[in-house]
Structure formats: structure tokens, C-alpha cells
Amino acid sequence: MTSSRRILPYGTWPSPIAADQVAAKSLRFGLLQTDGDAVMWAEGRPDEGGRAAIMRIRAGRKRPEEMLPAPWSARSRVHEYGGGEFLAAGNIVYFVSAEDQEIHVANGQSVERLTNRPDLRFAELVHDARQNRLIAIAERHPDGQSLEPDNLIVAIALGERRRGEVSPLVEGADFYAFPRLDGGGRRLAFIEWALPGMPWDEARLMVADLDDEGGVATLSHIAGGSGASVFQPEWTPDGRLFFVSDAGGWGNLMMWDGEAVHALCPREAEFGAPLWVLGTTSYALLEDGRIFATYVEDGEVRAGLVGPGTGGLEPLALPFRDISNPHAAGDAVYAIASADDLAPSLVRIPVGDGKAGDVEVLRHGAEVELEAGAVSRGEPVTVARPDGAPVHALYYPP
């Protein structure tokens, strides 16, 4: 009796999945955002020459609707990595056009240009209803092509008289990210960092108090710097400011109450994420005061719910290998998630009953049918370095 097993060199094992089959049908998810009870996202489409469409699904509906008519494409080139390419405000979408890097306004099937600044690129748009304007990160190329531009935070007027006019709001640092207005439009939080460092090396959390005209009255340094980095500031309705800081050696959740910074659920885990792309998030504030947080612990990406006030972390058993960019709307969290047998996809995680309910995939990143056993499933392993420190890895058996 002969064995049916064959021995082949590593990487030459036959697969029922062809590379071109996956590449031709795979979506590339960009910015994710919630607007009221709807979730919106950008998706790059290979079959449309890489055009980045903007999509929306309303609560209780299954079918997505396109918010940006073809051939328009939303993509920012700030820092070249981009991100933060659109902002939804009801049925109006402000977006950065991939073609000219100007901010445009999409309303139904009509699109109009808002800005006319070929020396600027824009990202991370924020609506300031109090001043009837947008606030955004801008990258200034004085000659249009400069390889060493400067960065600033700007205001873009929306009123009829000065519509599209761009004015500096904050400048002086090498880089900026995460502009976040509080609920009253009186305080603007953001992070800044300097060359030659990256934002995960060292960054500072700043809060600007805005005057009646929307200008910066005072500027306060809240956290970060001196070798510590910060990530993703978010305001609560009652004026507290949450963020991630690694000042204690690990990237943990923190809260500033207007006077002091307090640590939430200190843990030997990383609750932040590398800021390659603007608009990246690692946690979401829920309406009931809880926090849906993603974190890396023992080499694995995990998710949990942080209780209001207590700071206790309740780990969630979710069927994903990776989960990123969570955003909350109503009683659900939306995120981009993947598993051994699931390409990065848009998912909905119900959290309204105090725990995570059944996960729903709203938009598959790749429509590829997989046979049982066609994909190797990763097994977490930990080995020790010569100095005894742990090294975490995923082992994928054949």
C-alpha cells in the first residue's frame, strides 16, 4: 500500500486559491466613520482602476449605497501615506479629491470644489458648526512639488461670503494629527511631533482654547513628549478627554478631566496603533460611557470593553485575528476585521446589552469561496530569547 502524501519544497504546495483570483476582487478599505446611526467608509476598487469610492450603510439596512458618484475618487496624499480623506455630515460629504488634492463637496449626484489651493494637501476634516467652517490638517508645498513641505492645522470657511477660504489655525510643529473639537466647539485637541522622530517615538497632546472668533486663545500641553508618545484623543460629551499614552512603558488608555491625567485599566498591553495613516483609531467611545478598545497582548490582537468609572477591562471573544479602526454608532461598533479565513472586511459588533453579540459582516473585502481546510489557521506560540524575554509569533502549520 503506497502513501498518497507528497513532499514538496516550502512555498510550492498547491492551493485552490489563485493569486489573481484574490487580487482582482479584493477591496482596500480606507477611512471608516460613523454619522448618526450610519456607517461610512472609503473602499479602493481594483476593477475601477483603484478608484476610492465612499459608501454608506444605514442602521437596519443590508445594502450599501454609494455616496460619491463615479469617476470621483477620495484619497489624501498628506504625509504621502494619506488617510482622513472624507467627512460625512448628513447627506453631504466633504472629501479630498485624489486628482487635485482639493476639498470637494458631494451632495447626491452633484460635486463642487470647495478649496482652490494647489499649494496645499488636506486630510482629517472636522466640522465646526459653531464657526460654520471645516478644520483640517494641511500640508503646504510652496512650489507645488516640494519634497520637504511644512504642516499646519487650518480652518476652511463654509459661509457664502468667504466660502473655501483657507486660514492658518495652528502651526509651528513639524507634524499634526487627530484634530478633535469638543462638543461645544470651544476646545480643539490634537497631537504634534517633530523630526526626525515618528509619532510612536514621541508626540505631544495639545489642547487649544478657542476664542469667540474661532482663533486660538491659549494652548496647553496635556501629555506626551520627553520620550513618550500619545495617540487618538477623543472628547466625551461632558468634556473629558481620552487618549492613549505610553509614558508608563505600555500604550495604555488615559483620561484628562481638565485638571489632571488619570490612567484607565493599566495593563502590559498596547492600546494604541502605529500612525502610518491619518484617521487610524484603536478604540471607540460608546454612548453609555463604556469604551470598546482593541489592544495587543502576548502578541495577539484582542478587543474588550472598558467599564465607565471603574476602568475594568472585560475581554471579548471575537472570531478575528485582527481588528482595527473601531467606530461606535448607537448600540454597535463598526470595524475592519480579518481572520484566517476572512479577508479584511467591514463588520458590525452589537454591544447594546452590556456584552458583544453576534458579529455581522457587512462588506466582504474579498469574495473568494474557500473549501474547508484550504487555509492554514495560525496557532499562537511564545519562545524565549537568549536573555529570557518572550518572543510571540503565530505558527501556521501546513
Q: Which residues of the chain have pLDDT under 70?
A: 1-3, 21-24, 144-147, 310, 354-356, 372
The contacts of residue 2 (CB under 8 Å, 6+ apart) are none
Residue reference for cell 502578541: 299
- Please list, residue by residue across 119-148, b when 16 or more beta carbons sit within 10 angstroms of its beta carbon and e when fewer do: bbbbbbbbbbeebebbbbbbbbbeeeeeee
3-class secondary-structure state, position 116: coil
Distance CA 107, CA 104 (A): 10
- Complete DSSP assignment for 265-285: S--SSB-----SSBT--SEEE
C-alpha cell read off for 32: 471608516
**Rounded CA gap, 389 and 288, in Å?**
40
Q: Give 200-204's long-range contacts (Cβ < 8 A, gap of 24+).
A: 200/229, 200/231, 200/246, 200/272, 200/274, 200/275, 201/229, 202/226, 202/227, 202/228, 202/229, 203/229, 203/230, 203/231, 204/230
Contact 335, 32 (CB under 8 A): yes
- For the chain, the farthest-separated pair of C-alpha atoms sits apart, in whole angstroms, at 88
Output the CA torsion 261→262→267→272 (10° steps).
-40
The pLDDT of residue 311 = 76
pLDDT tens profile 101-128: 999 999 988 999 999 999 999 999 999 9
**Given this model, what pLDDT does residue 143 score?**
76
Reference 277, options 380, 392, 178, 393; nearest CA is 178
Per-position DSSP letters for 178-244, written without gaps between them: EEEE-TTSSEEEEEEE-TT--TTT--EEEEEEE-TTS-EEEEEEEEEBTTB-EEEEEE-TTS-EEEE
CB-CB neighbours of 206 under 10 Å: 23
Do 211 and 217 touch, CB atoms closer than 8 A?
yes
DSSP helix/strand/coil, 297: strand
d(CA 390, CA 323) in angstroms, rounded, equals 23
pLDDT of residue 145: 63
User: Would you state the pLDDT for residue 294?
Assistant: 98
Tell me: cis bond preceding 71? Omega within 30 of 0 counts.
Answer: yes
Evaluate if pTM is beyond 0.85: yes
Domain boundaries, given as residue ranges, for the chain = 1-30+281-398
CB atoms within 10 A of CB 40: 24
- C-alpha cell belonging to residue 131: 464657526
Q: How many CB atoms lie within 10 A of CB 322?
A: 15
Write down the pLDDT at residue 23: 67
**CA-to-CA distance for 119 and 102, rounded, in angstroms?**
10
d(C-alpha 306, C-alpha 310), whole Å: 8
User: Nearest CA to 153 among 75, 113, 197, 208?
Assistant: 208
Percent of the residues in the chain that have a pLDDT greater than 70, as a whole number: 95
pLDDT at 92: 94
Q: State how far Cα 311 lies from the chain centre.
A: 23
- Please list the residues that pair with 167 across neighbouring strands: 155
